[in-house]
Structure 1
């Protein structure tokens, strides 16, 4: 993604933030949107989704379509464009390895071009949570780590702390972006990584410096206050495998924006799925 696009999306995020936030001293607190603000937020989300559809991801592999009858159609197949219901693969070899077969007349076809290969192995056993830093970071040393700061920023009322040191948040008012449910007890909240750390590792973060991975794991844009159960149900899955019960447009839009800003590399099949989801849920 070009520097211009990164700056544009970052600037757009700031504009959205300024609409939804008001300054209350040293910290910012997000208040429940009025009907007018909710209308603006929905329309901004739709605009962002449209822009994401218009800005391509970094080059990905060619799509290979596997039909229900087990035939693998690469772009060179005469049936490629006519195949609408399919399982997506990034390369012919992967489709064949799943038990598929090539169409008649293409038995000798092999796509060995670099662009047809996945940029990274999907399942890298070397992933460890510690590669993204040891827990929540307290970059400014004020005793409020990135979990606490996410809870403070995303509460629609002033939060209460466990003690006078103002380190650990215990209560507030959070509206889950996964369900719309109001949560008031911080112990019932998990801080979700919108783009999971394991997913990021498998799509490019394994080549980053330790510092960049730690920044990613603590980036407020990538942190959401959600229900414990749903965060654990989601695990390390991206939108191609898991979607929340509500707020699908907002979730997929944010996921894709973070992927673009950090230069992560979804497969062609994943990229196509995100396009479909943005069109379906944000259209």
Structure 2
């Protein structure tokens, strides 16, 4: 996964095929996030009607069947100096987010009194308005728990982001903007989440500054067993 790299190295409507999306500017090399933007479907935002967090299944389900909830899996991945409160090395009791991707700051994590959130890079309600309403429960569960779409981040920055997309919110940490947008492109491409025209253009604007930024890959399968 390339989520932590700071280097700048797909449902109706017009699809914008071709990495330039018919808008001019650099097309991006094969395998780049910029090239992948042109593969996303462009369509207007649907109504948020009917959205509930529970539509994406039980929060932090153990979809990879490793015995630990997804939240703790991501904390273990993204924090340093991790200590656990159980014998299974599942429940993260403390750790340090050395370089918060959204602000660039250093944040100490303590379970139950933390300033660290686990953010969905592509927010659940954003996905709901751009295709997820039509998905089967197993796909929504997979989306909500896919490590490709999850990131430990400073809580107040995450809450300011809300369900914003690239057109409405970017990290104040400018060094992370290319990896951040590349990750959103990767998640939307993997799950077939569409983008609005404004969002597509905003993605391109960021990634044209780092046209060699690779498209992240990996994560879990796009279908999960409901009830796990």
Q: Distance in 2 between matches of 1:48 and 1:183?
A: 36
State the SS of the aligned residue for 2:49. coil
Q: In the superposition, relative to structure 1, how do residues 259 and 268 fare at CA in structure 2: closer, same or farther (>3 Å)? A: same
Look up the match of 1:42: 7
Alpha carbons 2:121, 2:183 under 8 Å: kept = yes
Q: Which has the higher contact order (CA 8 A, sep 6+)?
A: 2
Choose which of 259, 277, 282 in structure 1 pairs with 2:188. Answer: 259
Aligned-pair CA distance for 1:180: 2.0
Alpha carbons 2:103, 2:157 under 8 Å: kept = no
Look up the match of 1:271: 200
Aligned-pair CA distance for 1:58: 3.8
Look up the match of 1:191: 118
User: What is the TM-score of this pair, normalised by structure 2?
Assistant: 0.72
User: What is the TM-score of this pair, normalised by structure 1?
Assistant: 0.59
Aligned-pair CA distance for 1:50: 7.7
CA offset digits 1:68-119 (Å, max 9, x no partner)? xxxxxxxxxxxxxxxxxxxxxxxxxxxxxxxxxxxxxxxxxxxxxxxxxx3x
Q: Distance in 2 between matches of 1:189 and 1:148?
A: 12
Report whether the alignment pairs 1:168 with 2:150.
Answer: no
Please provide the CA RMSD for this pair.
2.6
CA offset digits 1:7-50 (Å, max 9, x no partner)? xxxxxx4xx59xx9xxxxxxxxxxxxxxxxx7xx6154xx8898
Aligned-pair CA distance for 1:124: 2.1
Choose which of 223, 228, 232 in structure 1 pairs with 2:155. Answer: 228
Look up the match of 2:135: 208
User: Would you identify which runs of 4 or more consecutive aligned residues in structure 1 move more than 4 Å?
Assistant: 47-50, 140-143
Q: Distance in 2 between matches of 1:147 and 1:279?
A: 33
Aligned-pair CA distance for 1:209: 0.7
CA offset digits 1:179-211 (Å, max 9, x no partner)? 222223142210000000000110111111100
Q: Distance in 2 between matches of 1:142 and 1:184?
A: 26
Look up the match of 1:60: 42
Larger Rg: 1
